[in-house]
Amino acid sequence: MELSVVYSRALSGIEAPLVRVETHLSNGLPAFHIVGLPETAVRESKDRVRSALLNSHFSFPDRRITVNLAPADLPKEGGRFDLPIALGILAASGQLPQQGLSAHEFVGELALDGSLRAVPGAIAAAIATCQTTRALVVPADSAAAAALAPGSRVLAATDLLTLCAHLNGSCPIAPATPLASAGAIEYPDLRDVVGQQVARRALEIAASGGHHLLLFGPPGTGKTLLASRLPGILPAPDPAVALAALALRSFYQDSRPDQYFSRPFRNPHHSASPAALSGGGSKPRPGEISLAHGGVLFLDELAEFSRSSLEALREPLECGEITLSRATHKIRYPARFQLVAAMNPCPCGYLGDALQPCRCTPEQVQRYRNRVSGPLLDRIDLHIPVHRLPPGELLGTGGSAEPSATVRTRVQHGRDVQLRRQGCANADLDAAAMAEACALGRPQARHLEAAATKLNLSGRALHRTLRVARTIADLADAKPISSVHLSEALAYRDPGALLRQ
């Protein structure tokens, strides 16, 4: 047969569209052409494929070879098409039966000796292949992660010769099994935090309802310590969310399949560019906000980030995804994370501190606070002051604080209540679901209306406060939202608290 068809998968964000690798051998001067919108790495595959075939003891056809990657309008990049191109040439030249190819999809980069190297996007390809009846063949280094996709059938190939023996039926390859979890995931423990009862309570509420959190106060009061303890009290992530997070981390070879149920904690430096946070580049890759999908994004020294970097957070905070637009295409990455931000009340950090006087002028303080826009602060549900503790308290109560495991039990109970009632965390309630889940009695509605008028809350802030009150009620096993729950939620939302520091 002089024409063969091999199935493969491209990579667009964390989606893997199907690609038909069509190979045709014809008479004429020997040549090797790859068409179908290939980028440089794909065009270079003809040299890798030639060497891999020869070093695997196959013959390379001395004919005119045309490889078409269909659909032609889908950009193709990377070395992931090396393996299907090589198999297409073998099938078209009669060195490999075509029948076995139609039951598989192939993704992998070839080394010159015929061995297979891992490529990004194996998890996305496995998820997409689950919608078909075909098995997915990937390099052995990618098989454990790809096999985590529920319902997938993944084969781990070490080299071209072994794979061809499987396709010939002479030496079948057993399906890969997902790597077992390494056991309980260890996070920093909340027991290490001394005092700060208000901040600890806010962490518990944020974890239970999925709310965003701002910690502000003088330097050295434990803001970073508190933020790093949030992943340890969060419930275990949904398997689909955990798999998507692992697929995103695989872009940077930062994925451990045995730890894919861990909550990511991303802590970018304040010098990070907008592209580093939101993702980008000529070939758009996920940024920190996508790598934090299903976990926590911690922005320390919030006011030191560039204005453009912070404003890029607005879209994902609202809709849980980020769209990177280019001239020829758009790529969408998931970005549903919990934002925890920390900042000082002024440039020197000591405004309102009882022990250290502030050295900043009112103009310096105002310029510093103007670096964080009002619309961004409006999207943060809980604004929590973190005050300095006396040295005696810091030294005298170590180890007596409540551990993360105890807090996580209450958080899990609150989250279970939310999932049974509406199928999502309170922070993700849409307008219709919020009207049902957060219904108020007449006294509570008047209470909230008066407080919102006094605090000058926007419509968004009002709804976020109502969701926080719903979470507080869920933690207390209360069905209706009471005035006590509303008062606590409003205390965490007071926009003047930061200004009074």
- Residue 390: the pLDDT is 78
How confident is the model over 25-45, as pLDDT tens digits?
999 889 999 999 898 889 999
Residue 105: is its pLDDT beyond 50?
Answer: yes
347 and 247 in a single domain? The answer is yes
Percent of the chain surpassing pLDDT 90 = 49
Is 213 a domain residue?
yes
pLDDT band at 243 (very low <50, low <70, confident <90, very high): confident
By the 8 A CB rule, do 178 and 148 touch? yes
What is the spatial order of strands in the sheet that 135-139 belongs to? 31-35, 64-70, 18-26, 3-9, 104-106, 135-139, 154-157
Residue 398: is its pLDDT beyond 70?
Answer: no
pLDDT band at 329 (very low <50, low <70, confident <90, very high): confident
Is-cis flag, bond preceding 71, omega within 30? yes
- Which of 133, 168, 203 is the C-terminal boundary of a domain? 168
**What is the number of structural domains in the chain?**
2
- Output the CA–CA distances (angstroms, integers) from residue 315 to 13, 16, 318, 325, 341, in the order listed: 17, 24, 5, 14, 17
Q: What is the DSSP string of 33-48?
A: EEESSB-HHHHTHHHH
Token couple for 405: 């495991």
Name the maximum alpha-carbon separation found in the chain. 88
- Residue 282: the pLDDT is 72
Virtual torsion, Cα 85, 87, 90, 94, nearest 10 deg: -120
Distance of alpha carbon 326 from alpha carbon 332, whole angstroms: 11
- DSSP structural state of residue 179: P
Residue, of 253 and 441, whose pLDDT is higher: 441
Pick from 385, 408, 384, 391: which is nearest to 191 by CA?
408
pLDDT band at 220 (very low <50, low <70, confident <90, very high): confident
Distance of alpha carbon 433 from alpha carbon 423, whole angstroms: 10
Residue 400: is its pLDDT beyond 80?
Answer: no
198 and 344 in a single domain? The answer is yes
158 and 197 in a single domain? The answer is no
Amino acid at 347: P
Is 497 a domain residue?
no
Residue 268: is its pLDDT beyond 50?
Answer: yes
What does the H/E/C string look like for 180-218?
CCCCCCCCCCHHHCCCCHHHHHHHHHHHHHCCCEEEECC
Residue 496: is its pLDDT beyond 70?
Answer: no
- Which of 389, 415, 441 is the C-terminal boundary of a domain? 415
pTM: 0.87
83 and 16 in a single domain? The answer is yes
* Average pLDDT for 288-309: 92
- Output the CA–CA distances (angstroms, integers) from residue 22 to 34, 110, 461, in the order listed: 10, 18, 55
- Residue 180: the pLDDT is 63
The CATH number given to whatever domain includes residue 148 is 3.30.230.10
Alpha helices in 62-182 (DSSP H): 82-92, 122-129, 140-146, 160-168
Residue 69: is its pLDDT beyond 90?
Answer: yes
Is 472 a domain residue?
no
Residue 501: is its pLDDT beyond 70?
Answer: no
Is 195 a domain residue?
yes
Is 139 a domain residue?
yes
Residue 427: is its pLDDT beyond 70?
Answer: yes
Residue, of 285 and 111, whose pLDDT is higher: 111
Is 268 a domain residue?
yes
- Residue 183: the pLDDT is 58
Cα 188–193–195 angle (5° rounding)?
Answer: 165
Pick from 167, 38, 56, 170: which is nearest to 104 by CA?
167
The CATH number given to whatever domain includes residue 399 is 3.40.50.300
Residue 407: is its pLDDT beyond 70?
Answer: yes
* Average pLDDT for 359-373: 89
- Which of 415, 439, 471 is the C-terminal boundary of a domain? 415
Virtual torsion, Cα 489, 493, 498, 501, nearest 10 deg: -30
By the 8 A CB rule, do 418 and 424 touch? yes
- Residue 128: the pLDDT is 92
* Average pLDDT for 93-116: 92
Pick from 482, 460, 459: which is nearest to 470 by CA?
482
Residue 328 structural domain: 190-415
Helix (H) or strand (E) holding 290: helix 288-291
By the 8 A CB rule, do 8 and 21 touch? yes
Is 14 a domain residue?
yes
Q: What is the DSSP string of 362-428?
A: HHHHHHHHTTS-HHHHHT-SEEEE-PPPPHHHHHHSTT-SPPHHHHHHHHHHHHHHHHHHHSS-GGG
- Residue 256: the pLDDT is 64
137 and 217 in a single domain? The answer is no
